[in-house]
Structure 1
């Protein structure tokens, strides 16, 4: 009986030491990989009004209430392009989401067939605020010191949003291929 207790005690000590050592190693590694918390971007009054109006169901003449949509990540304002040919009329135009005088950058949104990309464009660089693929599209992001590329893919269709600032202020190009 005494011999069994000694074995159990030795096993408990060894297991406790292993768990402690593992926890300490993981804690040390994870403490060095702290990420910045996500930023909340301010909405302009026009955007807030448009968002609240877009999320309401359209008024109807009858008294039957239409079912409310489930929780969403924002209004679905994406419209399909009439063709997949890369011409001036098919390329999306950037729309400024917000611009605060305290910040030196401008937050711009680019809606494409594949999804939506939002950049914070500063004088000498840009940062990716968000990238959201559309339904049925996948997304991949590449970042370097001088550019950011977001590519949406669906089957053989590809939409690329490319922001560069290596030789001047940031500029964004949208391409469909």
Structure 2
């Protein structure tokens, strides 16, 4: 799928395209990236040595910014104010599970906020995400987040990271400490 998308992009550049065609191609590309992320997450979790990854330097602030940039399209055409507060900080941890958790948390906040605000804060090794949620999501049994939150909980448990979630009014808050 990724190769097909890349070929379509090259063809689009050579032949030109309409804005609608460009939007469709961008959506296909993002869907492909999302599927790759989920597949990699599930494959990684199924490994017997999943929690045996070596620690390495991870610049948590840069990782947050990169993931926000990659996922901001989920806020397109929504009246949502995004605030990102970061402080440069390097931690020693396994990068893949750290990235999986942050990507899932940021994606959830962006997908499940139809209006209002998303505030992402990182201080030291702690990342907090606070977002406005729709009533129907807050009332549902799994909060509409399903598989992603279960994966986050499993990874956090495997690495002895602190993960918390809380609902206050129409705000959904999560915090992960690596």
- In terms of fraction of residues, the more strand-rich structure is 1
Q: Whose relative contact order is higher, 1 or 2, with alpha carbons under 8 Å and at least 6 apart? A: 2
Structure ID, larger Rg: 1
Q: Normalized against structure 1, the TM-score is what? A: 0.31
- In terms of fraction of residues, the more helix-rich structure is 2
